[in-house]
Structure 1
Amino acid sequence: MKPIRFVFVGQAKAPFFRQAEDHYLEAVNRSIAATRVVVKDARAGRPAERNTAEGRGLLERLGPRDFVVVLDGRGKMYDSLGLAARLRVLVEDPGRAPCFVVGGAYGLSDEVLARADEIVSLGPGTLPHELARVVLLEQIYRATAILRGAPYHH
């Protein structure tokens, strides 16, 4: 199985978000190797300028063999079983490695969206990016539990 990478913009500011990220990343790592890469967030400028700067940082962290899954409200929604099935395909692909990308406070640049191999949504509502990261990590953990037949998923 290929390891999973999570590429996020900026460090989580609130301690409870950092703790939740750490908790679920550790939980995912009990099933499959997973790493988190944090790209510096742009602190000044208009939203479009920030997205462009952050997008450059994200694109620099993506390799040609990465299967890039970006989170965006316009993406495909999966239920837990569907996400588990999709994750199985991604981690078993011998040629590419799954890489989940979450943008900053203003989302993702057009360049990052264009680089995406798949666009996924966590639901119809808008989430703060720090919460979206936690929800993504929890959902990936839940998917790994489903794949292992563990009792976490109810």
Structure 2
Amino acid sequence: MRYVIAAVGRMKAGADRDLLDRYLDRARKTGKGLGVSAVDMLEHAESRAARAEDRKADEAAALLQALPARARLVVLDETGKTMTSPALAERLRGWMDEGTPEIVFAIGGADGHGDALRDRADVVLALGAMTWPHQIVRILIAEQIYRAFTIQAGHPYHRV
């Protein structure tokens, strides 16, 4: 079972990148005991199209092209469904128990996601009603993956 955060755009070195790397490392270490083989970050180039709709379509196509056929897709979007951390942990565990080979969390570009990606999503997930910078969304979802693993492992990191 592999987890992937697939994001449009590049994250520069600095404090944000360091924090992202810290949560990815924690998730990798905790996930091993749960049967998780990898927790990876993949970055895709931003589209250079002139119109926002064309940029969204181009970026959606790039994300979909990299998506393995049997992967579960979680699209991060402010219009999506909110979930508690335990509910997310349960959903992820359920997919793993079904034999899902890969779970991909997709973070769109500045214009959002194209319809093709949203249509393919197994879950459209909101991290609240606010709009977040893409760098922070990467950190937040990496932390939630780590948190889900600690919940599944019975670790006290997530306190109820």
- For the 8 Å contact 1:3–1:91, the answer to whether it is kept is no
| Residue 140, structure 1, aligned to residue 128, structure 2 | no
Using the alignment, how far apart are the partners of 2:100 and 2:141 within structure 1?
A: 24
- Gapped regions of structure 2 (runs ≥ 5): 32-37
Which residue in the other structure is 2:155 paired with?
150
Say which of 102, 111, 134 aligns to 1:129: 134
SS state at 1:125 partner: coil
**Alpha-carbon displacement from aligned partner over 1:75-94 (angstroms, at most 9, x marks no partner):** 11111111111121122221
- C-alpha root-mean-square deviation of aligned residues, in Å? 1.6
Match of 2:35 in 1: none
Query: Matched residues in 2 for 1:14 and 1:105: separation?
Result: 19
Report SS of the residue matched to 2:30: coil
Alpha-carbon shift at residue 47 of structure 1 (Å): 2.0
- The answer to whether the aligner puts 1:72 opposite 2:71 as a matched pair is no
Q: 1:116 aligns with which of 121, 130, 154?
A: 121
Within 5 Å, give how 1:1-154 maps onto structure 2.
Answer: 2-13=1-12, 15-32=14-31, 33-43=38-48, 45-154=50-159
Query: Could you tell me how far apart the structure 2 residues matched to 1:90 and 1:23 are?
Result: 25
Letter in 1 for 2:69: P
Q: Confirm or deny: 8 A CA contact 1:70 1:119 kept in the other structure.
A: yes
Q: Is the 8 A contact 1:6 1:100 kept in 2?
A: yes
Q: Cα distance, 1:25 vs. partner?
A: 0.9
Runs of 4+ with deviation above 6 angstroms: none
- 2:125 match: secondary structure: strand
Gaps of at least 5 residues in structure 1 are none
Distance (Å, rounded) in 1 between the aligned partners of 2:114 and 2:16: 24
